[in-house]
Each structure stands twice: as structure tokens, then as C-alpha cells.
């Protein structure tokens, strides 16, 4: 009975998560499929880095839920065809705060909230929202951050075409002090 209850609970969590992901992706057509692609990329990195099953599960669910705060970002910022102004970028970056608010009090069997709220931090302190540096950033957040930048660069946006694999890697390597080197190295092994 407990096993059946556990399966039903997991199924309901998955359905709820997929519903939220669809809501996020409907608001911004350029995010369509992003979260699935992000999860796949993060899991590929995790496998190369020999992370355990619990870490991979955490990455998968964090990737799926990583855009939840975007629901609160104004539509005109999400779909703006040009470069964002400093105030618009600041407003966009508030998605992390909104994600934390949404996820507070939600019971997950895995620690996905710190991964989501730290995935935009950078090892050199140039990220957001708290300008964390180095090992103060959760390893899984570092991996998800690399995967997110890679997926964003290689996907088309309203203001540009998607980059080729090698171009995205060059950008990640150029900013090597900001990104987890092992995660970037794992990405370089992806089929070109």
C-alpha cells in the first residue's frame, strides 16, 4: 500500500511540475522545450561527472522547475526583441526571488530550491542574486548554471539565432573563471 501511495504521489508531483513548466513556456514561446532540454543537458553533464542517482534526480527536477519565477516577469521584458536596459535586466533577475517564494513550503524529497536559487550565481561572483563566489555555490547549481547558459546560447531567441555547439563552448571557456570547469569540459564531449 505504501509503495502504491508513493508511486501515486510521485506521479502527481510530476504532473504538477509539467503543468507549471507548460505555463512558463506558454508565456515565452522562445522557452518552449527549454526545460526538457536543460534537464537533458544537465543530466549529461552529471553522468560525465559521475554524480550519484540522488544528485541526478535533484538536477532533473531543478531543471524542470528552474523557470517558475519567470511567470512573474512582465511579458514585454520576456519577449523584448532587443537588448534589455539595466532596469529591465534587474526586473528579469527578480525571477529568482519569485521562484524562492513559490517554492517555499513545497515539500520535495530532494533539495531543489538551493539549486534553482543559485544557478545564476557565478564562481567569480559576477552572478545573481547574491553574488556568491566559489564553493559557496552549490555544485548542482554550478552544473545547472552551465547547462542553462549553454542551452540559452544554442537556442534561438527573438533577437538572435541559436549558436552552434562550438560557439557556445567558446563563450563558456572565455568566461572560464565564472563557470565550473568540469561541467564545461563535460559539455565539450557532447556530439557537435
Q: Which residues are bridge partners to 160 per DSSP? A: 157
Judge whether 36 and 24 are in contact, CB under 8 Å: no
The confidence score (pLDDT) of residue 78 equals 86
Angle between helices 34-48 and 139-154 (to 10 degrees): 130
| Coil vs helix vs strand at 66 | coil
Q: Which residues are bridge partners to 157 per DSSP? A: 160
The confidence score (pLDDT) of residue 23 equals 79
Residue 105 has which C-alpha cell?
A: 513550503
| Coil vs helix vs strand at 165 | helix
Phi, psi angles (nearest 5°) of residue 106: -85, 125
Closest to 165 in 3D by CA, of 147, 182, 150: 150
The confidence score (pLDDT) of residue 160 equals 80
The confidence score (pLDDT) of residue 57 equals 94
- Could you give the CA distance from residue 145 to residue 160 in angstroms, rounded to a whole number? 21
C-alpha distance from residue 101 to each of 55, 113, 122 (Å) = 23, 10, 22
Q: What is the pLDDT along the chain (192 residues), one digit of tens a residue?
A: 667 777 787 777 778 778 877 877 777 766 778 889 999 999 999 999 999 999 999 999 999 999 999 989 998 998 888 889 999 999 999 999 999 998 887 777 789 999 999 999 999 999 999 999 999 999 999 999 999 999 999 998 777 889 999 999 999 999 999 999 999 999 998 755
Amino acid at each position: 500500500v505504501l509503495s502504491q501511495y508513493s508511486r501515486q504521489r510521485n506521479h502527481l508531483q510530476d504532473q504538477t511540475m509539467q503543468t507549471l513548466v507548460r505555463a512558463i513556456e506558454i508565456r515565452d514561446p522562445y522557452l518552449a522545450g527549454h526545460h526538457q532540454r536543460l534537464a537533458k543537458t544537465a543530466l549529461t553533464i552529471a553522468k560525465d561527472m559521475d554524480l550519484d542517482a540522488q544528485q541526478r534526480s535533484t538536477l532533473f527536477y531543478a531543471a524542470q522547475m528552474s523557470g517558475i519565477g519567470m511567470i512573474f516577469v512582465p511579458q514585454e521584458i520576456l519577449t523584448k526583441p532587443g537588448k534589455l536596459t539595466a532596469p529591465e535586466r534587474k526586473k528579469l533577475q527578480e525571477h529568482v526571488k519569485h521562484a524562492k517564494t513559490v517554492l517555499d513550503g513545497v515539500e520535495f524529497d530532494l533539495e531543489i530550491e538551493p539549486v534553482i536559487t543559485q544557478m545564476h550565481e557565478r564562481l567569480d561572483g559576477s552572478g545573481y542574486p547574491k553574488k556568491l563566489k566559489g564553493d559557496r555555490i552549490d555544485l548542482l547549481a554550478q552544473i545547472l548554471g552551465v547547462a542553462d547558459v549553454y542551452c540559452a546560447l544554442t537556442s534561438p531567441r527573438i533577437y538572435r539565432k541559436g549558436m552552434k555547439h562550438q560557439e557556445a563552448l567558446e563563450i563558456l571557456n572565455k568566461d572560464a573563471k565564472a563557470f565550473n570547469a568540469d561541467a564545461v569540459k563535460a559539455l565539450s564531449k557532447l556530439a557537435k
